[in-house]
Structure 1
Amino acid sequence: LCHHHHHSHSRNHHHRHHHHHHHQLPVTTDGQFLFSRCKDPSELWLPLLEKAYAKLHGCYECLMQGSVPLVMQDLTAGAPQIIKFTEPDVDFRIKNGVLWREMDALLHGGSLLTVQLREEGKKAGKEGASNKMGLLTPHAYTVLELREFDLKRMGLERFREEWTLRLVKLRNPWGKGDFTGPWGPKSELWRGKYELIAKECHFRDFETGSFWMPANDFFTKFNTLNVCRIFKTPDPWRALRFQDAWRKTVPDAAGVISPKELELDNAMGPPDRKNPSAWLKNPQFLVFVKEKTPCLMVLSQKDSRVIGGAQAAIRTKGGAVLDQFGKYDKEIGFAVARAAVVREKGSRMKKSDFFAIARFRRDRDVSTPYTLQLSPKDSPYVIFAMTSDPGMVGGFALNLYVKADVFVRGGERIEVLEHEHDDSDDDVDAFDHEAVEGMEEAVAGNPDSLPGASGRSGA
């Protein structure tokens, strides 16, 4: 941070004094820490961590606001996954109970889950508080526990015409923003006919800092589940990380680009009707699989707030930080396909030919909303890293979390069989700009078996 002072050899007192401060924690005149502090004054980890973040971001003031999943990831080295309840394939998994089972498995495996109502786009701020049943936006609540009860077997009445009762326990340390609906802290349901449930949930009506709510309200009142996947050591997950960049050649002074340089261009954006094969030149990674393995894929770009990030340089005239937190200049996403399908179909690929799609997001990390199951019979797979528009340049990292050994070759392009392009193909614009909104309706279908293109060839 203070490199620019070094050349002065601390010639004057001001520089020496200034330099010295970089290695101290800021305190008030009476010795209290100026910013964050622990209840126990001998615990220093919090102010030290905060100072590290301040150095990374340029100043303490730059630490305003932020994102829960990114912090969790920093503190645990877990893998980030953002699950949007409104996406068609996620909605499908809510309705058939698969997401509920996945959440339960994640919690039992030690992963961290938070949930929030993120106000996005035009709809932001339209909903009145009455609709939210006491919940605050875009406030993040921690998911503590999931419980499922068979009311019939317990000799209890049905709830909302259903014999299965699913309840979620959320942590809320703020003292405000508790759920006011059924099974909330003030709900009458805990007393009387459902007393057995209260016993099972260890419900105490004077307890603060957490509350229960029914699963269907959970999935409708919130829209974003942030998962920080913790891969416990006895479970032999391993992480593989690859770095690459989207590049675009700039003409020289005479306005010339050599064909050799042009060949290196790989910031091609998504499939586009006008230039149907350009997207195949995006950065590619080949994944070879010898035995079946679950795989979580995460594509990341540089954090926009740290020094050197896209937003770090933005300041108002008074030196105050603009409300720019977490703004990214490009939307990133990726698509996964079987290499055999890419070779065979190339620029004629339809959406249904892909094995999985991580929709474009203007965020630090994007992933598919579920863990993929890779198998040797479909190997090798090819991952295309893309930006939402061609010509967007910058570095990225691809992280793969797998249980069995996989071999990855990056930066090479698959040789595609050349085809005469057939314009009559009505699905050629599967990714065209309306759809590019987020590579709409990513591979739906049965989430348990996650069929690749092989199971979908007739689609």
Structure 2
Amino acid sequence: MPQHGVEGGEMLGQEVVEEPFEWRKDHEHDDRHCRCYKDDHHKEENIEAPCLLKDTYYSRVTNEYTYQRQVKAASRPVKKPFRILRQEALASGKLYSDPEFLPNNFSINFNGVTRRSYEWKRPLELFQNPQFFIDGATRFDIQQGELGDCWLLAAVANLTQHPHLFHVVVPRDQGFTHQYAGIFHFKFWQYGRWQEVVIDDLLPTYHGHLVFMHSRNKNEFWCALLEKAYAKLYGGYEALRGGNINESMVDLTGGVVELIDLRSPPRNLFARLLKASRRGALIGCAIEPDHPGIRPESILSNGLIVRHAYSITRITVISLATAPRLKGQAHLLRLHNPWGNETEWTGSWSDKSPEWTAVPASEREKLGLTFNDDGEFWMSFQDFMKNFSVVEICDVTPDFFSEDDNTNGNEVPEDILRGWKSVMYEGAWVANHTAGGCRNFINTFARNPQYTVELKDPDEEDDDDLCTIIISLMQKNVRQMKRYGKDYVPIGFTLYKLPPGRQPSTKLDTDFFRYNASCAKVPFFLNTREVTARFRLSAGFYTIVPSTFEPEMTGEFLLRVFTEVRQ
């Protein structure tokens, strides 16, 4: 990934030129919102509610803007929860019909025009014995339909491996037998809060078959209903056409995503991936072609798919029977293609490749090795690095950002004992008031919202006397506005350390930014929903300035700040 902008050249009084980095240039493609690949931690009380800290400057206009939205939201009728709606449907003797997400073409395409004539049918109209789950939920259940939303399917496939997280999103208290009333509910994390989405079970079909996400077992329906609820959340099935796997991973967990560019990888990457996997993180990856003429979802000669979301379902180190003990190891990753078919990697360690003969039978059994045409395959870490260009790790805690040293990749040391304090701020970039653009636009940069945080060294016995801070900036309500042509704009943030004696509640003005260098910032501004970065800084007060790349780019945002606290 090219590096844009030059932080190292920033000196007192010298303006640094930033450049935005757009993952995609072709905004006419269906997947225009993505660098697309067709693309007891989970409790809400672990994250503080959005608040206004006393030591934070929050512009009058932004404050009023947020206040007006809150007033407007409070004036809406309170939605009835799932259990009450189900009870009302049972009492009426009629199956529930969702008044907010109607079974018509406008719920499929924004303009109401579809290439086929779809029929909306309930599972009971398709099968005599429909079931919500058949032997639980697994990643092999998921089959992609006509919709280009593999970025969602890949995240769901990962989620099924963590039942404690999966059943937060997909509650168990529903099905087609006990208390069936044609109503189902799911929960998604949206901008700092868990939101319940209630739907009916009318699904679009063509000639009696489901046309979008469905299960390998034709009479199992959790997959199709989950996708419908997610489509309702964003305003229709078309809103899910194209996206980043980091969006769906966050929506399914409320976690924080680390994006790693494999073209300039960090040190000890395998150890970091192994640790993240052991911690239960959701991990996705994709191949970004260097040549702009390569079509999305093109299948390469080695069986891999360009600009397509894969989930990494296991990371391990195995012993080889035919090699010396000290060197006889293989660093392997197991990947899953959400198409769930025979389109798989064909190189080393692929299904039925000769490399597996060097693995003891006991090791193969431990891995649960199968050679089915199910979209899942193994590959070596070396081949993974040669072929894939980006990997994204989503964890419900920030601990995976630690850069543990490890020489053989087999044992991953634990972090130092620490905890995390998290704070969220809701804000907006308002034209002519709080949309000042990046520091290139020095005369308007001070207009941007400013947030002050204090860093304290959580470990008095460490050698570097530095503090860790993780900052995540998310654009709000963009995918919901996709039907009106709204798109993600390049966003980022910059940090400034306050000099001694400077009051942390004081707004920083243009002169401050003109004559003081930033101490940290995002590597580049990205036109994605969320950008996240981790920094190690000395103790003190810091001001975070979130901004769009250019002035007068408007939108709402959610800023999450994680700081270490000593336990």
Question: Same fold, TM exceeding 0.5?
Answer: yes
- Supply the AA of the counterpart residue of 1:382: T
Q: 1:229-248 residue pairs with structure 2 within 5 A?
A: 229-231=395-397, 236-248=419-431
Shift of the alpha carbon at 1:346? 3.5
User: What CA distance in whole angstroms lies between the structure 1 residues aligned with 2:273 and 2:392?
Assistant: 11
Change (3 A) 1:48 1:199: closer
1:361 aligns with 2:537: no
1:300 corresponds in structure 2 to: 474
1:271 corresponds in structure 2 to: 439
Q: 2:418·2:565 contact (CA, 8 Å) conserved in 1?
A: no
Change (3 A) 1:235 1:197: farther
Change (3 A) 1:143 1:29: closer
1:252 corresponds in structure 2 to: none
Shift of the alpha carbon at 1:30? 6.3
Q: 1:332 aligns with which of 487, 491, 494?
A: 491
Change (3 A) 1:197 1:138: farther
Of 174-183 and 31-40, more deviation after overlay is shown by 31-40
User: What CA distance in whole angstroms lies between the structure 1 residues aligned with 2:365 and 2:226?
Assistant: 39
After superposition, give the CA deviation of every residue in 1:121-141 in whole Å (9 maximum; x if it has no partner). Answer: 8364499855x6211122222
Number of equivalent positions: 340
User: What CA distance in whole angstroms lies between the structure 1 residues aligned with 2:219 and 2:563?
Assistant: 40
2:249 corresponds in structure 1 to: 72
User: What CA distance in whole angstroms lies between the structure 2 residues aligned with 1:284 and 1:345?
Assistant: 13
1:347 aligns with 2:514: yes
Q: 2:442·2:513 contact (CA, 8 Å) conserved in 1?
A: no
Q: 1:110·1:232 contact (CA, 8 Å) conserved in 2?
A: no
2:547 corresponds in structure 1 to: 386
User: What CA distance in whole angstroms lies between the structure 2 residues aligned with 1:364 and 1:119?
Assistant: 21
After superposition, give the CA deviation of every residue in 1:56-93 in whole Å (9 maximum; x if it has no partner). Answer: 3333454444443222222222223332223xxxx251
User: What CA distance in whole angstroms lies between the structure 2 residues aligned with 1:157 and 1:133?
Assistant: 31
Shift of the alpha carbon at 1:181? 1.4
User: What CA distance in whole angstroms lies between the structure 2 residues aligned with 1:188 and 1:40?
Assistant: 32
Shift of the alpha carbon at 1:169? 1.8
Q: 1:332·1:387 contact (CA, 8 Å) conserved in 2?
A: yes
Shift of the alpha carbon at 1:383? 1.5
2:276 corresponds in structure 1 to: 106
Shift of the alpha carbon at 1:357? 1.9
Change (3 A) 1:402 1:222: same
Q: 1:151·1:157 contact (CA, 8 Å) conserved in 2?
A: no
User: What CA distance in whole angstroms lies between the structure 1 residues aligned with 2:516 and 2:321?
Assistant: 50
Q: 1:117 aligns with which of 287, 301, 308?
A: 287
After superposition, give the CA deviation of every residue in 1:341-390 in whole Å (9 maximum; x if it has no partner). Answer: 9999742556xx5334252111111112xx3345xx43212212121112
Q: Over aligned residue pairs, what C-alpha RMSD do you find?
A: 4.3
Q: 1:13-24 residue pairs with structure 2 within 5 A?
A: 21-22=99-100
User: What CA distance in whole angstroms lies between the structure 2 residues aligned with 1:29 and 1:44?
Assistant: 8
The TM-score normalised by the length of structure 2 is 0.51
Change (3 A) 1:51 1:164: closer
User: What CA distance in whole angstroms lies between the structure 2 residues aligned with 1:277 and 1:62?
Assistant: 37
1:313 aligns with 2:484: yes
2:336 corresponds in structure 1 to: 171
After superposition, give the CA deviation of every residue in 1:235-279 in whole Å (9 maximum; x if it has no partner). Answer: 854432101222332xxxxxxxxxxxxxxx33222222xx54543
- Supply the AA of the counterpart residue of 1:137: V
- Supply the AA of the counterpart residue of 2:341: G
1:27 corresponds in structure 2 to: 121
Shift of the alpha carbon at 1:29? 9.7
User: What CA distance in whole angstroms lies between the structure 1 residues aligned with 2:385 and 2:259?
Assistant: 14
1:145 corresponds in structure 2 to: 314
SS in 1 for 2:203: coil
- Supply the AA of the counterpart residue of 1:298: S
User: What CA distance in whole angstroms lies between the structure 2 residues aligned with 1:404 and 1:125?
Assistant: 47
- Supply the AA of the counterpart residue of 1:82: L
- Supply the AA of the counterpart residue of 1:206: F
User: What CA distance in whole angstroms lies between the structure 1 residues aligned with 2:367 and 2:468?
Assistant: 36
1:222 aligns with 2:388: yes
**Ranges in structure 1 where 5+ consecutive residues have no aligned partner:** 4-18, 250-264, 315-326, 406-459
Change (3 A) 1:29 1:278: closer
Change (3 A) 1:149 1:202: closer
SS in 2 for 1:241: strand
Q: 1:134·1:177 contact (CA, 8 Å) conserved in 2?
A: yes
Identity %: 24
- Supply the AA of the counterpart residue of 1:172: N
1:133 corresponds in structure 2 to: 302
After superposition, give the CA deviation of every residue in 1:151-204 in whole Å (9 maximum; x if it has no partner). Answer: 89961697xxxx874222222351233211122223212225x65896497374
- Supply the AA of the counterpart residue of 2:530: D
Change (3 A) 1:24 1:107: same
- Supply the AA of the counterpart residue of 2:305: L
- Supply the AA of the counterpart residue of 1:304: V
- Supply the AA of the counterpart residue of 1:53: Y
Shift of the alpha carbon at 1:115? 0.8
- Supply the AA of the counterpart residue of 2:258: Q
- Supply the AA of the counterpart residue of 2:524: R
1:284 aligns with 2:442: no
User: What CA distance in whole angstroms lies between the structure 1 residues aligned with 2:227 and 2:297?
Assistant: 35
Shift of the alpha carbon at 1:284? 1.8
Shift of the alpha carbon at 1:38? 6.2
Q: 1:280·1:347 contact (CA, 8 Å) conserved in 2?
A: no
Q: 2:321·2:360 contact (CA, 8 Å) conserved in 1?
A: no
Q: Between Structure 1 and Structure 2, whose CA radius of gyration is higher?
A: 1
Shift of the alpha carbon at 1:23? 7.5
Change (3 A) 1:170 1:197: farther
After superposition, give the CA deviation of every residue in 1:374-407 in whole Å (9 maximum; x if it has no partner). Answer: 5xx43212212121112212221101234428xx
SS in 1 for 2:335: strand
User: What CA distance in whole angstroms lies between the structure 1 residues aligned with 2:220 and 2:346?
Assistant: 37
Shift of the alpha carbon at 1:215? 1.3
User: What CA distance in whole angstroms lies between the structure 1 residues aligned with 2:237 and 2:297?
Assistant: 34
Change (3 A) 1:245 1:185: same
- Supply the AA of the counterpart residue of 1:106: A
Query: Whose RCO is larger (CA < 8 A, sep 6+)?
Result: 2
1:397 corresponds in structure 2 to: 558
SS in 2 for 1:191: helix
User: What CA distance in whole angstroms lies between the structure 1 residues aligned with 2:302 and 2:522?
Assistant: 34
1:206 aligns with 2:360: no
After superposition, give the CA deviation of every residue in 1:26-63 in whole Å (9 maximum; x if it has no partner). Answer: 52596235245668899876565444434333334544
The TM-score normalised by the length of structure 1 is 0.61
